[in-house]
Structure 1
């Protein structure tokens, strides 16, 4: 797991992209933002306190190493407050954000990259398209949204030969299964958007996923911390922790012991709470570990994953 470093900075510019979507330009207070490749994201601290909630946002830039980076954020009424807090900021506001991480990189083995986006899930593909244009790589984008007036980047993308737009208000629908059926053996698929879209991609792309050619990004756990009760043994501490139904392992440890577990996102995408799994089988619900890493059953993300057995033993 790469180490997350926090940077102090400011919001140097804010641009309205749609009625509920704004683009934020972030500038580190000192130096340049680190290098990164397209598909990267950063963590942003929602508030000024060190223990403020942390959200992840895709970087719109194809690469880093410059004085500024950009994210686009949709205001979500049912969010944890991050989007509302960001939308209330003004240029010059002080913020804290992390160095980049990349769980959604372009695959070098792909002959062609096929992007499937829904709504605000368009953000990582803005960077990917720019990266492909710069490198001469082959790619195409399929972007579905409810209405052109409320979606971001529609005008920018319209008319590009490698882009197909699907406006729900005009009765246009993206048939994910039909699209995946057209793929060649060296094509890779990348999907980001609402859960319904991701479910369709995973249902139609089971063979692609088995072959390592389907890549999903979602900044939320696949399933909330729901399920039956189980127990966890903290091997180094000699403690037994009871994890209640609908409680995360992380919350149970913090509730019942003084054992310190580092955590940031609490939604399974940053990797901060990764812990060695010594025995037992986990039900992995994170976005951080690859399929192969999850199948190895030797580590677990405590914030979202649960037990697929009666008892887990952790290296804590």
Structure 2
């Protein structure tokens, strides 16, 4: 992993339980640019967590993230103050805005607003058409004032499930041809929006999602990972990830998020049919690569370039 040495420049309470951290290069140098929808993987004490970047990524002097306190690594980050150091990956993105889209419809649930803030800021800078539906707990709407000032009537803030379903379905049915949909939030919310979009006639190439928590995955059936370079066979039992099985067999595979989001554990497939359960690989890579942390095999044997 390429590691950035960052220092906390400031912290700000955005809403109940949500803190923003501004991070700069420890040597005061420039930071790598990135598109909207990018994230960093941060060292959070004993854990490593991915957090969406909310800043303008064209020539960033600092990175900003918003962290919901939920225990574990988020508690560690909430305890940091100006001058504290943190290690991070370089920015990664699997959720960038499509440049050719006629319009961008954004739907965010809770802390899933973080990548959408970057999308809104970039859309404003590039004079793109954007609309946002934001559902959150009462008094827990981060970035609410900025979003209201930027989007005006194109911001729909809701705090109840029934209202969210109604507003979302109406928006999905009213978009012009060429609109792309971006969804980020809890698994249940994301799945509901995608189901409603499919019912409204949206096609998969115009649907983009990022989950801020891992999806619940089925344990899957047992298969064998055949390692082409070493000639070894590694059994991957039901309920055990390919990554865990390889590590237990002493095979080192680079990894970060262990959620199928960051792309670090991408491994080429030489034979067999992968069962893709990640949020990183696009359709053109299905069959030629696998994300070891979450994906499995549809065939009894999956041959890997390891």
Equivalent of 2:6, from 6, 9, 34?
9
The alpha-carbon deviation at position 82 of structure 1 amounts to 1.2
Instruction: Check if 1:238 corresponds to 2:231.
Output: yes
Instruction: Check if 1:33 corresponds to 2:31.
Output: yes
The alpha-carbon deviation at position 172 of structure 1 amounts to 3.3
Tell me the residue number matched to 2:268. 276
Instruction: Check if 1:193 corresponds to 2:185.
Output: yes
The alpha-carbon deviation at position 219 of structure 1 amounts to 3.7
2:302 partner SS: strand
Instruction: Check if 1:254 corresponds to 2:247.
Output: yes
> Distance in 2 between the 1:168 and 1:208 partners?
25
Instruction: Check if 1:106 corresponds to 2:97.
Output: yes
Q: How does 1:206-225 map to 2 (within 5 A)?
A: 206=198, 207-210=201-204, 212-224=205-217
| Cα deviation code 1:235-267 (max 9, x no counterpart) | 1111111111110111111112x3221111111
> Distance in 2 between the 1:72 and 1:185 partners?
33
Q: How does 1:1-316 map to 2 (within 5 A)?
A: 4-30=1-27, 31-47=29-45, 52-77=46-71, 81-147=72-138, 149-158=139-148, 160-168=152-160, 172-175=163-166, 176-206=168-198, 207-210=201-204, 212-224=205-217, 226-256=219-249, 258-294=250-286, 297-316=287-306
Moved more, 62-71 or 153-162: 153-162
1:32·1:67 contact (CA, 8 Å) conserved in 2?
Answer: yes
2:163 partner SS: coil
Q: Which runs of 5+ in 2 are unaligned?
A: none
1:8·1:94 contact (CA, 8 Å) conserved in 2?
Answer: yes
2:9·2:23 contact (CA, 8 Å) conserved in 1?
Answer: yes
> Distance in 1 between the 2:277 and 2:83 partners?
38
| Cα deviation code 1:118-176 (max 9, x no counterpart) | 111111111111111111111111111121x122122333362221111229x732433
2:5·2:26 contact (CA, 8 Å) conserved in 1?
Answer: yes
CA 1:19 to 1:221, structure 2 compared with 1: closer, same or farther past 3 Å?
closer
Aligned residues: 300
The alpha-carbon deviation at position 107 of structure 1 amounts to 0.6
> Distance in 2 between the 1:70 and 1:27 partners?
9
> Distance in 2 between the 1:137 and 1:161 partners?
15
1:144·1:166 contact (CA, 8 Å) conserved in 2?
Answer: yes
1:280·1:307 contact (CA, 8 Å) conserved in 2?
Answer: yes
> Distance in 2 between the 1:313 and 1:219 partners?
31
The alpha-carbon deviation at position 225 of structure 1 amounts to 6.5
> What value does the CA root-mean-square deviation take over the aligned residues?
1.8
| Cα deviation code 1:9-48 (max 9, x no counterpart) | 211111111121000010111211111222111111112x
> Distance in 2 between the 1:173 and 1:100 partners?
31
1:165 partner SS: strand
After TM superposition, the score normalised by the length of structure 2 is 0.92
